[in-house]
Structure formats: structure tokens, C-alpha cells
Structure 1
Amino acid sequence: MLIVHHLGNSQSERVVWLLEELALPYRLVRYERDPATRLAPSAYKALHAFGTAPVLDDGDLRLTESGAIVEYVIHTHGAGRFSLRPGAPNYADFLFWWHFANGSMMPAAMTNGLVARLGGGDDPLARSLSARLDLAYDMVEARLKNVPYFAGEELTGADILMLFPLTTMRRFSPRDISGYPAIQAYLQRVGARPAYQRAMAKAEPNLAPMLS
């Protein structure tokens, strides 16, 4: 059976959501963050060298990195569901948003959160770095004005990866999304999915999903 090592308030919620969408059996092992540092506890850091979430066990295999885990599960256990093949008309959109999630939006959100913590203020570099997150949100808003999901008409792995920086990541890098109506509508669409509701109830039983 698949085992998901889930760190509270982390990207590992993506894996839980995917497994619920695929209706795959799994065991969830939940770890609380260190109350002082708000980082992973020593037990979680001991799971693998880099010490970050998520971590997935599949028999003797231990896999990390949310993008890698999502791709592995989709193709190894999910019969390719939530993926697109080359030649599909929206294949390039699917690839772009899949990689934009961790390649551009997450780094921008993390940098923005660090700049705020360090009191970047009027420093030109700090302003430039924070502007990247503004641009990312503008790009997401423009995309979701035209399609219900990132790859087009149907939920895909691109949504599994893109949702986290729009929701839980805002606990670390606060963002007012009241000026983004398409993003708000998208979050409500995802929030209405039974699999997402089940996933968040299991992954974060004491926290309401950040869907507004």
C-alpha cells in the first residue's frame, strides 16, 4: 500500500488530494510542525536527505518532490488519468502549468514571504522580487478567465500542483485574492470536489481550506 508521509501545512497535501481523486488505497502518516521553528520535526527530516515534504513510500521505493510523486502516481497507479499525451490540443498548456507551479510560482511566493519577514520595504531588489509574485497571479487570473481548469476543460495534474500556491501557501506568504475573481471562482470549483474535501479533512483536520 502507498504510504504518504504528510507534514502539516505543506505541499504533501497535493499527494493526498491526488490519491483521493484516483480512489487509490493509501495510508496517511501525519507529522506536526515544530512549534518553535514551524519547520519539519526531526522525525520528518529523518525520512530523506533533504528533509522536506512530501515523502511517498511504495513498497521498497521512497520518493520525494511533489511534482515527481504526482507524475509517478498518475502513471504507475493511476493508468495515466489526469495526464495528457503529446498531440493533445492542450498538451502544451498542461505542461506549462504543471511546471509553472514549482518552477515559477512557488519560488516567487517563497521569496515574497522571506522578503516580507526580512522587512524588505523600499529596497529595489526586494520590490523586484515581490513583483514576480504579482506577475504570477496576473498570469493565473488571465488563464482562469478563459478555462475552468489550468489545462482546459478538465482537472489534470497541473491543477493538483497549482492549487497549493493559491491556497495553503498563503499561510506563509499572505495574499489578498479579492481582486482576482477568476481565481476565486476556480478555488470554489475545486473546493466543491468531494475528493478535495476528503483529502483536506484528512490532511488538515483542524484547518479550513483557504478557498477565498
Structure 2
Amino acid sequence: MLTVHHLRLSQSERIVWLCEELGLDYELKLYDRREDNRLAPDEYKALHPMGIAPVITDGELVLGESGAIVDYVEKKHGAGRLSPASDHADFADHLFWLHWSNGTFMASMMMQLMLTMSGAPEGNMAEGFVADRVGKGWSMIEDRLGRADYFGGSALSTADIMMVYCLTTSRAFRPGSLPEALTNTRAYLQRIGERPAYQRAMEKAEPGMEPMLS
């Protein structure tokens, strides 16, 4: 049995949504964050050597890392239905956004968050460097969603599964809503929010929480 171990308010939300989009039979286990430091509880950390979300188990297999899990579940359990074939016109764009999500954009936002939490003085060199990377990222996203319906191109793909968390629930750790100027991004998130699979996933993964779509 495929089991998704979901740490509330974390990247494992992606895996719940993926399973719902694919219509899979899976077990969902929810874990609440610790009260004292908002990190994963010990029972979650014990699942995988990294001790962070996401984690799945599938029989004897224990697998971590968002991109690896998305690829594994979509290929092994979903017959590759949410990724374009290598001869499809969207293939390269799909690959870019699938990997850019955590490889560059999420990493840059995490650096920005850590700088803020560290109490580093404003105007330091690292702050400017990271802010520039994050700003360029949001500009790329807005441009992409003005030229394509989905990050991977003409249809929803695992690139969207990876990207949407960055634009939505990840903002729970930093104040503010999406800038009004990001009209393409806002319209895209409204379309995502209308998907029955996304609605089911969020109801299961974050019961009682309004999805952060604006």
C-alpha cells in the first residue's frame, strides 16, 4: 500500500495532490508540527534519515525528496499520465519547471527566510543577492503564466504539482499575500483552486485551512 506521510504545512502537500489527480488508492497519515519550534515531530523525523517532509512508504520502500517522490508515484502508480512524452512540444518546458521549483526557486526562498530569521542586519550583501534571485523568480513565473496555461505547457503536469506549493502554502512562513501586479499568477491559482482533485487534497492535507490562492 502506498502511504503518504504528510507533515502539516509542508511540501508533502504536493504528494497528496498528486495522488488525488491520479485517482490513486493510497493511505494518508497526518502529522502535526511541534508546538515549541514548529518543526516535525520525532515520529516523523524517524521515517527517513533526513527527518524532513515529504516521505512516502510503498511496501518496504521508504522514499524522501519531493521531486523523487513525484517522479516515482507518477511513473510507478500513475502510468506517466501527468508528464509529456519526450517527443512532445512541452517536454523541455515541463522538465525545466519541474526541476527549477525546488532546485532554484524554493531554495532561494528558503535562503531568504533563513536570513530573516537569523536577524542579520538589513542591507547586507547576502540579503541583496537573495532578494534579487527571488525577485527574478517571481518575474519568470508571471511571464510563464502569461504565455501558457500551465507551467509544463498546454496541460497540467507534475511541473504544476511541484510549483503550486511554492506559490501557496509555503507563504504560511512569511507574511503577506501575492502582489496585485502578479495578475497571471493569481488567475492561474484560481484555476488550480477550481480543480476537484486539488480541493480534495487540501481538505485532506490541511483540514480547516483555506488554501492560500491569493
For the 8 Å contact 2:34–2:40, the answer to whether it is kept is yes
Match of 1:152, SS?
coil
For the 8 Å contact 1:111–1:130, the answer to whether it is kept is no
Partner of 1:33: 33
Partner of 1:163: 164
Partner of 1:191: 193
For these two proteins, the number of residue pairs brought into alignment is 212
Partner AA of 2:173 in structure 1: F
Partner of 2:47: 47
- Aligned positions of 1:65-144 closer than 5 A: 65-120=65-120, 121-144=122-145
TM-score by length of 2: 0.96
For the 8 Å contact 2:115–2:127, the answer to whether it is kept is yes
Q: CA deviation at 1:174?
A: 3.7
Select the residue among 172, 195, 212 that pairs with 1:210.
212
RMSD of aligned residue pairs (Cα, Å) = 1.1
Match of 1:14, SS?
helix
For the 8 Å contact 1:109–1:169, the answer to whether it is kept is no
Partner of 2:151: 150
Stretches of structure 2 that go unaligned for 5 or more consecutive residues are: none
Q: CA deviation at 1:175?
A: 4.9
Q: CA deviation at 1:13?
A: 0.5
Q: Which runs of 4+ in 1 moved over 4 A?
A: none
Q: Distance in 2 between matches of 1:169 and 1:146?
A: 24
Partner of 2:12: 12
For the 8 Å contact 1:82–1:156, the answer to whether it is kept is yes
For the 8 Å contact 1:3–1:28, the answer to whether it is kept is yes
Q: Distance in 2 between matches of 1:34 and 1:45?
A: 12
For the 8 Å contact 2:90–2:154, the answer to whether it is kept is no
Match of 1:99, SS?
helix
For each residue in 1:81-140, what CA deviation from the matched residue of structure 2 results, as whole angstroms up to 9, or x when unmatched? 101221211111000000000101110111111122233411122111122111100000
Q: Distance in 2 between matches of 1:106 and 1:45?
A: 21
Partner AA of 2:104 in structure 1: S
Stretch deviating more after TM superposition (54-63 or 15-24): 54-63
Identical residues among aligned pairs (%): 50
- Aligned positions of 1:166-177 closer than 5 A: 166-177=167-178
